A and B are shown apart, each in its own frame.
Chain A
């Protein structure tokens, strides 16, 4: 059991040890209670129910209202206690969770083992659940004590604790979701530091202090008010003008603007957020490994980083950033910028006169800018990209369901456990694998292996083997890991970025 301040210090030390974050002031004095944090939010939530929502950007709202069974260390993403104060693998197929005593939901319902079971069962079986795949390895959930549960697994799965730090581990009040049904999407009841007040679509989400929050003396803030401003430039403008205190998901290009505005603090840190081309290997030329390799050789990631990220992000060679514990240095060198080689590979594949590729993307200016850089880079090797743009749900559907488009310029927002990342992107039948099949048969066993190993070293080796298969077959074109870029006013204290790249306000306070 840790006091919040110990957690703070731990995270603080860990941050120092990890890649040094730029420009963030950490010597911030004594926390003070009170005040409302006004946040410029990048998008309207898809739902405020963690089970039914689908957008990766929902978490920033959800974290304020929902605590997770397992928490994660900000800097390393290692699992740490959350609503479950401890967990053990009794054998590879049995995971025991011990729930923290004295936790209550916003509506007064106790968060005990029975409530957790109801949540996990809902996540696994409810027809509107979006987290079924996350819990696919769970065979059964049994309550073995007022505060103890045992999860029986279908196959060894060491990724589960971190999976329970994501949506699947966010606990809602069973009383509320049973009474409200679909309505829980818009009137959520969790056990997090703040409770839901109101949600006006595309406009505002307001949360206020949960007086019976389990962490003594927390939270510092009386409430958080999110104002939805989809255009991040406008969002930043609202913070510069003092209408809001905090803005996140900024583009690294906006660093110049933040630096110029003297009343702002910029916060950056590495994240798992990978800007990349998804490839549908089931479509014509995309089935040819030489074409996919050409796609990887033809892109100048350094230039892309400079042009679209102000040089403030990490050029991506694998689906994991170099700071991550499972990063494999050897494979990272596989695809240097080499237009001649790209042209040669294309010619070998039978596309001497160039190749037309149908790409999907998004309409906003940031993405359009990325597209323009890539169109120009690929043009130089004879690849003619033709983009069709739309909204995120529309294009995600077009690429992964309707199988339109050869490649898709989007991003992978990262998952707490990397095995999930690889499973979802390359596993057979997975939604984010547009071909729905394993591009090469070795992927399946390699994936299983990453979940079987118990210790970190063993898992690292398993991931290295998996990354080798994926990289050699060029199943994806990673471009850059976007650094988290947030800006806040001077009175905001105690904010720290995390490797997941989705801001949490649990330790934030406002100076008087």
Chain B
């Protein structure tokens, strides 16, 4: 019965994200059409004739009306064809899939680090609210949120890679090829990314826990003689997991953005360097493809989180 209800709900939610994704494609496609200048002229390169430029315009469909271009692109995108790069003429989807694992490793590592360090810090700060430890965690969290992560990345490179040679300064290795080396390469970028995440997780978790711990309900439990730790484990963390899920959703969105700049510092061939290169060179099919795939990731994750909410807190599902 419960499964059935959830099944229906999953289907309904999944159905709801379709228009959101279509809207997202429209936004991406539309914004990039604002470009001044004629991309075909640039693409034609040095020594190009007018006929060659016209030919390029035709071969990329740049001479057709906006809505036709958009429609064609969307239709192909639905069939998993994100068209081809202006610069390399390679399929965009192939480039994205090729680079995605690299970024995933870094973002995944950063997310794990954020949770592994952020949760204990948040819990500690909340249970010892007002103590020196709490102050330390709170100030650390404020600093972490304000810290430019590419700057931290630079400091990490200068210290751990260039001065001490503990970690490689640049590049990446595929996880499937050599797991140990891959992790070694991903370590510094993941740490640089995680700083903001740790701060965010600790901060949110702390305030959520303090709210719960100061509630009437918990106070009653306390009066009944349960130890603070037991209360925390049995009631606090379960209730706080909704907050945690929300933070994870936000965090993934932010980490996907931040990895762009951090990848530049480490010269990592991931999604970030792909979009920066494409944006500078006005290679719009690639920009559109990368942004779209990131949006799809975020939206799917949000869907998953929504579903988890219902599992954790049945009241949400009944609404």
- Residues in A lying within 8 Å of B, measured CB to CB: 44, 46, 54, 127, 130, 132-133, 182, 185-186, 200-203, 227-231, 234-235, 237-238, 240-241, 243, 363, 390-391, 393-394, 396-397, 400-402, 431
List 28 contacting pairs A-B, 8 Å CB cutoff, sorted by A: A44-B87, A44-B88, A54-B45, A54-B47, A130-B47, A133-B47, A186-B88, A201-B90, A202-B269, A202-B273, A228-B269, A231-B267, A234-B170, A235-B170, A235-B267, A237-B157, A237-B162, A238-B170, A241-B161, A241-B165, A390-B280, A391-B281, A394-B42, A394-B281, A396-B46, A400-B46, A402-B41, A431-B47
For chain B, residues 1 to 49, give those with C-beta under 8 angstroms from any C-beta of chain A: 41-42, 45-48
In the bound complex, what is the Cα–Cα distance between A231 and B289 (angstroms)? 24
Q: How large, as a class, is the contact surface on chain B?
A: 20 to 34
In the bound complex, what is the Cα–Cα distance between A130 and B89 (angstroms)? 18
Give the dominant DSSP class at A's interface: loop
* Interface residue from B41, B98, B168 paired with A243 (Cβ < 8 Å): B168
A414 nearest CB across to chain B (Å):
16
- Residues in B lying within 8 Å of A, measured CB to CB: 41-42, 45-48, 52, 85, 87-90, 95, 98-99, 157, 161-162, 165, 168-171, 266-267, 269, 273-274, 277, 280-282
Nearest residue in B to A432 (C-beta to C-beta)?
B46
In the bound complex, what is the Cα–Cα distance between A132 and B85 (angstroms)? 26
CB neighbours of A390 from chain B (8 A) = 280
Q: Are B267 and A127 in contact (CB under 8 A)?
A: no
Q: Are A431 and B274 in contact (CB under 8 A)?
A: no
Enumerate the 9 nearest inter-chain pairs by beta-carbon distance, A residue then B residue, closest first. A234-B267, A237-B169, A201-B88, A238-B170, A203-B269, A431-B47, A54-B45, A397-B42, A229-B267
CB neighbours of A46 from chain B (8 A) = 45
In the bound complex, what is the Cα–Cα distance between A203 and B171 (angstroms)? 10
Q: Are B95 and A201 in contact (CB under 8 A)?
A: yes
Take A130-B46, A201-B85, A202-B273 as given contacts and tell me if A397 and B41 are in contact as well, using a CB distance cutoff of 8 Å: yes
* Interface residue from A229, A235, A391, A396 paired with B280 (Cβ < 8 Å): A391
Take A185-B89, A234-B267, A241-B161 as given contacts and tell me if A393 and B42 are in contact as well, using a CB distance cutoff of 8 Å: yes
Q: Are A393 and B89 in contact (CB under 8 A)?
A: no
B195 nearest CB across to chain A (Å):
21
Take A54-B46, A234-B267, A237-B170 as given contacts and tell me if A127 and B52 are in contact as well, using a CB distance cutoff of 8 Å: yes
A461 nearest CB across to chain B (Å):
31
In the bound complex, what is the Cα–Cα distance between A227 and B89 (angstroms)? 20
Q: Are B169 and A241 in contact (CB under 8 A)?
A: yes
Find the residue from B47, B273, B280 having the highest chain A CB count within 10 A: B47
CB neighbours of B52 from chain A (8 A) = 127
CB neighbours of A227 from chain B (8 A) = 171
A315 nearest CB across to chain B (Å):
28
In the bound complex, what is the Cα–Cα distance between A237 and B52 (angstroms)? 41
In the bound complex, what is the Cα–Cα distance between A238 and B162 (angstroms)? 10
Nearest residue in B to A131 (C-beta to C-beta)?
B47
- In addition to A182-B89, A238-B170, A240-B169, 15 A-B residue pairs with Cβ atoms within 8 Å of each other are A44-B87, A44-B88, A54-B47, A130-B45, A200-B98, A201-B85, A201-B88, A202-B273, A227-B171, A234-B170, A238-B267, A241-B168, A241-B170, A363-B280, A393-B281
Take A200-B98, A231-B267 as given contacts and tell me if A401 and B280 are in contact as well, using a CB distance cutoff of 8 Å: no
CB neighbours of B157 from chain A (8 A) = 237
In the bound complex, what is the Cα–Cα distance between A152 and B158 (angstroms)? 60
CB neighbours of A186 from chain B (8 A) = 88-90
Nearest residue in B to A46 (C-beta to C-beta)?
B45
In the bound complex, what is the Cα–Cα distance between A130 and B269 (angstroms)? 30
CB neighbours of A185 from chain B (8 A) = 89
CB neighbours of A228 from chain B (8 A) = 269
CB neighbours of A431 from chain B (8 A) = 46-47
In the bound complex, what is the Cα–Cα distance between A401 and B49 (angstroms)? 10
Q: Are B171 and A238 in contact (CB under 8 A)?
A: yes
B187 nearest CB across to chain A (Å):
14
Nearest residue in B to A130 (C-beta to C-beta)?
B47
CB neighbours of A240 from chain B (8 A) = 162, 169
CB neighbours of A201 from chain B (8 A) = 85, 87-88, 90, 95
CB neighbours of B42 from chain A (8 A) = 393-394, 397
